[in-house]
Amino acid sequence: MSTQKEQVLAFVRTNGTITHRQADETYSITRLAAVVFDLKDEGHMFVEPTEIVKGKNKFGTPCTWAKYQYLGMKNKENR
């Protein structure tokens, strides 16, 4: 079984971006921001500032959520 970090990393490497909804529906990850924080701490880069997406939840209520765009791993010189 893979860790949440491994699952999110595989998803963004394949798709380029991930949202909380995708993480929850695909992997049952409910704290995506914490996983992204840990990945950044390990040297992975995401677009800053994080894009905010507007939409509606499953009840039709307007809401917003973060969309994280993956840029890759930092070079060793940039750490």
Residues 6+ apart with CB under 8 A from 63: 54, 55, 56, 57
pTM for this structure? 0.85
SS (H, E, C) 16-70: CEEEHHHHHHHHCCCCHHHHHHHHHHCCEEECCCCEEEEEECCCCCEEEEEEEEE
pLDDT at site 77: 46
The pLDDT tens digits along the chain (79 residues) read 689 999 999 999 999 999 998 999 999 999 999 999 999 999 999 999 889 999 998 899 999 999 999 999 987 545 4
Which contiguous run of DSSP H or E holds residue 72?
A: strand 62-73
